[in-house]
Amino acid sequence: MILFGGTLIGQILFGFEEHNKELISEGGKIISLGSYLLSGHFIESTFENWESEFLQMGLFVVFTIFLKQKGSSESKKINQKEEVDREPDPNRKNAPWPVKKGGFILTLYKHSLSASLLLLFLISLILHFYGSLKDENEKLLLEGKQLETISSFIKNSRFWFESFQNWQSEFLSVFAIVILSIYLRQIGSSQSKPVDAPNMETGV
């Protein structure tokens, strides 16, 4: 959380300065920090990144249920069941409340991690769209041009360009860790196999 807070503050301060430079160059007026936090520029840039992170993690959680990569520390072992595959035991000591409750509550709980991440992705996607539309209209207003509507902006290449450029980078990073963890090691890291583990040994 310290890293998150520090980098978010950095984004706000430098984004605030950059946005005011853009406003001046386009003939607008400098805005306050409070106004910047409500601007399309800040909302779009923030949730554009959060959106791609939640999409990456949500899909990673889902795909690791059934996709396996021999030799990767990020994969379940090939052709054998693991602890995460077993059915929950309501009699297990300190089992979470939904496990003891059972029924529909347990069904939801069994998929709660992936569902939460994908819900956060959807919320971030909507806020990214809102911020991008607002930022676009703030620029059009300065130029004295007709403003975009929701229906027209959803067909605008800007929003989809912003999304796809982030999505592809997230998928690349997942591919990199899955493949690199087959051949490379980091002693002490839970994301790496033991240093002396064979390359084709799957899982940690």
Is residue 2 assigned to a domain?
no
Cα 15 to Cα 75: distance, rounded to the nearest angstrom: 38
Give me the pLDDT at residue 204, please.
62
Give me the pLDDT at residue 40, please.
97
Cα 49 to Cα 159: distance, rounded to the nearest angstrom: 13
Is residue 193 assigned to a domain?
no
Residues 177, 180, 182, 185, CA torsion sign: negative
Is residue 204 assigned to a domain?
no
Cα 30 to Cα 18: distance, rounded to the nearest angstrom: 11
Give me the pLDDT at residue 197, please.
87
> From the first residue on, what is the mean pLDDT of each consecutive set of 10 residues in the chain (204 residues)?
96 97 92 97 97 95 87 81 84 91 93 97 98 97 94 96 96 92 90 88 75
Length of the chain: 204
Give me the pLDDT at residue 79, please.
78
Is residue 85 assigned to a domain?
yes
Is residue 144 assigned to a domain?
yes
The total domain count for the chain is 1
| Cβ contacts of 107 within 8 Å, gap of 6 or more | none
Is residue 203 assigned to a domain?
no
| Cβ contacts of 102 within 8 Å, gap of 6 or more | 90
Which pTM value belongs to this model?
0.88
Rg over CA atoms, the chain = 22
Cα 67 to Cα 76: distance, rounded to the nearest angstrom: 8
Cα 159 to Cα 166: distance, rounded to the nearest angstrom: 11
> Domain limits at 96?
39-183
Longest dimension (CA), the chain: 68
Is residue 10 assigned to a domain?
no
Is residue 192 assigned to a domain?
no
